[in-house]
Amino acid sequence: MRIQKKIYYPGDFSFLDDENWSIALIDGYNAVESVGPAAWEELKKHKTKNPLKYGHNLVFNNIYHNIAMTHDTQIVYQIIMRNMEYIAKNGWDDYVKFWINLSEK
C-alpha cells in the first residue's frame, strides 16, 4: 500500500508544529508576494551574511511595512526574512522538505 504524502502549496505553512510561527511565516510570505516577483528576485540576490535591512532597499522597505503591520520587532522581521530568503534561493519544495525532515528527527 502506497502512502500519499500531503501536498503543501506555496504559502501553506501548516506543516509547522507551532501555530504562531506558522502565522508569522504566512504573513511574511504574503508580504513578499504582495510586493511581487521583484521581491523574490531581490531575496535570491541577497548575500546571506548581510542583514536584510529595510532602510536601504525599496523592495525590503515594502516587505517590512507589510510585515510590520502585525509583527513589530526587527528580530521577528529578520527571522521571517531569512525564511523567505531560503524559499527564494532553494524553492518551496526544498523548504518544506527541510522543515519536515527537521521535525522528524
Q: What is the mean pLDDT of each run of 10 residues along the chain (105 residues)?
A: 73 94 93 93 84 75 79 81 95 94 78
pLDDT of residue 3: 53
Q: What's the grid cell of residue 93? A: 519544495
Task: Name the one residue in this structure whose C-alpha cell is 510570505.
Answer: 29
Query: For residue 2, how far is the Cα from the chain centroid?
Result: 31
pLDDT of residue 1: 46
pLDDT of residue 73: 75
Share of the chain above pLDDT 70, in %: 88
Q: What's the grid cell of residue 38? A: 521583484
pTM assigned to the model: 0.84
